[in-house]
Amino acid sequence: MADKVKVGIIQLCGCSGCHISLLDLHEGLLDVLPALEIVYAPIIADVKEIPDVDVFLVEGGVRSEHDEHLIHEIREKSKVVIAWGSCAAFGGIPGLGNIYTPEQLKETVYTTVSTDNPGVIPTEGVPELTTEVRAISDVVKADYVIPGCPPKPALTAGAIVALLEGKDPVLPTKIVCDECPRTKENVFPKEFKRSFEGTPDPEKCLFEQGYTCMGMATRAGCGAMCPSANMPCRGCYGKTDETLDQGAAAANTYANAGEAALEIPDKVATLNRFTLPVALVSKKVQKE
């Protein structure tokens, strides 16, 4: 690519966490910024029109008609589109909304006593929700994916540097368990616990201690950050290239625990926390 690469950055159905993670590069930003010209980034400046760009970093999945319009325009005006973070790559946490209809979601948000509201569902100036959350690659072609919630800053920087050098960004091919320093004894738990229950042994495998860890079905690249902090992996880096479905891969391991696995509450969300929209069964089938 040319010395000065035109870059666009946008948030669709996401939380801006991927944007903020860039700041965690700290002085490392100085290594890449001189080669970039950020020409579109609503989180930084109010730019009305999407210009032609070389690389577009897209955070967030497609949840509304407005998101869908934007991602089509971005694709048309970009040489390279990167699905940036778990929401763009897999649907992310918002993808769990696929368990419900848009009408059910709006009813819960605006008409229940869980929040202080007048019980009126707003319609004026509000984009219509799509029937389901979709990863951007289910709507347009995504040239590359940078997973994570958010991605490690070094992963984003590495992808940008690779593109500047005319190379394809490369993701790790192993699983989180391969990066995890905890001791594994190849045993299966007799019961499962919530992450706040009890105090995990800091040396032993969290799954084998009965915590709902997703490390065995999740792409490496984070350095096993959560298990290293005594918290189970939640699966935000998604599946590896060798796996068809992250939730199914995890379920295959969990099934070895027998009855204990059947007692896990909310199994759909536990095993597909970030990836339900790209799962083999991506939404709940609603009766007419």
**30-72 confidence digits (pLDDT tens):** 888 889 999 999 988 888 899 999 999 999 999 999 999 999 9
What does the chain come to in residues? Answer: 288
H or E stretch including 247? helix 246-254
Q: CA 162, CA 121: separation in Å to the nearest integer?
A: 46
In the structure encoding, which two tokens stand for residue 197, read together?
Answer: 């229950």
User: If DSSP codes are grouped into helix, strand and coil, which group holds residue 180?
Assistant: coil
pLDDT digits (tens, 9 = 90+) for 111-144: 887 667 777 888 889 999 999 999 999 999 999 9
Q: In whole angstroms, what is the distance from residue 86 CA to residue 15 CA?
A: 11
pLDDT of residue 111: 85
Backbone dihedral angles phi then psi of residue 99, each to the nearest 5 degrees: -70, -20
Residue tagged 């289910």 (tokens):
138
Provide, rounded to the nearest whole percent, the portion of the chain with pLDDT above 90: 81
Label residue 228 exposed, middle or buried (CB < 10 Å: 0-12, 13-18, 19+).
middle
The amino acid sitting at 30 is L
pLDDT, mean over the chain:
93
DSSP-derived 3-state class of residue 79: strand
Pick the CATH number of 5-99+125-165 from 3.40.50.700, 3.30.70.1450, 3.30.9.40, 3.40.630.30: 3.40.50.700
Domain ranges of the chain: 5-99+125-165, 176-278
